[in-house]
Structure 1
Amino acid sequence: MLAVNRKRFMIGTILASSAAIMWGFSGVTVSMLFKLNPAMTPLWVSEVRMIAAGLIMLVLAQLRHEQPLKIWHDKKSLLTLSAYALFGLIPVQYCYFKTVEYGNAPIATILQFLGPFVITLYFLIFKRQVPTRTEGAGLLLAFLGMLLIVTHGHFNQLAVPSAVLFWGFLSAIGVATNSLMPRELLPKFGVLSVTGWGMLISGGVLNIFGPFWQRSVTVSLRDFALLLVTILIGTVIAFILFSTSLIYILPTTASLLDAFEPLSATFFAVFLVHTRLGQMDFIGGAVIIIAVMMITLNFRALFQKRHQRKLSKITKP
């Protein structure tokens, strides 16, 4: 029995880690697109990526008999889906790309990794749930890490453009809302259906501000390959791997493995596009990763306690 559980844990760990590495890699491919082809703006790439990935996910949902049209018959769920698309997927996709445009993939990914930090603040402000000591320490560490990255130790001046902070913070909020909003929809309608429609809705809304087919963009074979990697590897395959990992491991454990995303983005950015990072960038990034792990581990302990309480209620005579 122990060997089986260990095997399941290893499978889940490999799947979740692979997804995080793919997400980090896709951030670098996007930064390459922006540099090699200025006509491919964050808005244009977000529109194409969301619509293409959404269509692929819905086709997969139909093949898996998830009945993707079912959600359109539930008005309440449709409102939640729309909110998820607007306030979850758009910030986590478009705002992340804007951060990459003004900064670089490693910094954008590290700032986006502050999502659990935002979730903790949400519970504090709106749910009046005071952070535990572990969460409090994690919050302070996350703030310190972010401070080191944006000032490089010189606290009287910024070392990165203010636009990076603005879009990076919005993308971190997107990670939080992206985690909280669809929770009730996923078990009811299926992961692929919910995310697929969310992608299509968010991509459609972004097209209001500039339809991608009206923009004159010359796509070379190299650009097409990078875009395909971003859509397939960085969106569809990574998402499927991460979702499948939840069958084998806890969501909190999978969230911990998201730490591979900023590490992956840093590795590929340094060795593929020769991005230069300062010592404070590495130190600040490491501090943020440790802080988020502390917060997430505390979430895990909380979920385990709740699970034990439920079991004790069930087993009571």
Structure 2
Amino acid sequence: MTDIEYVRAADQGSALALVAEDPDAVFLAGGTTELDLALKDQVVHPSRFVDIGRLPLRGVTRDGDRLRVAALTTMEELAADPTVRERLPFVREALLLGASTQLRNMATIGGNLLQRTRCRYFRDPDVGACNKRDPGSGCAAIEGVARMHAILGAGPSCIALHASDLCVPLVAMDAEVELLDADGTRTVPLTEFYRTPGDRPDVENVLRHGELVTHVQVPLLPDGARSGYLKVRDRTSYEFATTSAGAAVTVEDGTITWAKLGLGGVGTMPWRAWEAESVLVGAPASERTFRAAAEAAIRDPFTVPGTAFKVELAKRTIVRILRTVTS
């Protein structure tokens, strides 16, 4: 293994410069994913870790009807925030179901957004066919064991899954990501931050080299809204989602007047179910409506023998969470 240089950044300017000057340098925050990939799995090969852990990028502030979450805020800190508890309960649920207490105290919100896939083929350097690791080499998951892989946004080049729980309610709530580099700051909607594999599975998001995630802005639920996060998994202890759904709705006189729906465990990126929301708004809060929304959400899935079961399971997950938040 090639030696990796470690540098602790003194401030944001030096952190940006240290990464920008080296095409193989990366930022290091909580390290719960990056260290595994580089040191344990050895499937990524950074030349330099730039530790940003001491930069002033921690904390949660409220600005009107939005929260602004600094990127180095830990999952545990965000889950404990009183505004999240009261006005974004399904974000809190996703955080608590997303990792063990030990990991939640280490893992950062920025890192959670940028976590890499848990695809066993990507994380095994002995597997040669992985377009995400080695573009043009193929996708071993297509014909391999693929139970924990994607059916939405997937295709012949890659079916690797985005495993974040937190991103499911964040993408449903139209969260935005603040990015910083030497040229300044830009803000990108989370729904536009990720990229589907297409013919470049190795390019997972719109982040430019040397660009740093500094904050995440999350709108609060409107008054009267109910929300919930449902995670279906093989065991109730720490485990990644087989399917999941985060939903938020308002209901007046039995009619759904506002709806947001995000899906996990099924997409190559955190999946916003726009079509399902269109079905829900203006419709009665009924089993028939919920099933129609589920059918709209899981439209034209790309499946292989190992993932075909997820089509119906994802639909049932959607129906169940909608039933829960409207009852």
Report if TM-score (shorter chain) is over 0.5.
Answer: no
- Ranked by relative contact order (alpha carbons within 8 Å, sequence separation 6 or more), the top structure is 1
User: TM-score range with shorter-chain normalisation?
Assistant: under 0.3
Q: Normalising to structure 2: TM-score of the pair?
A: 0.26
TM-score by length of 1: 0.27
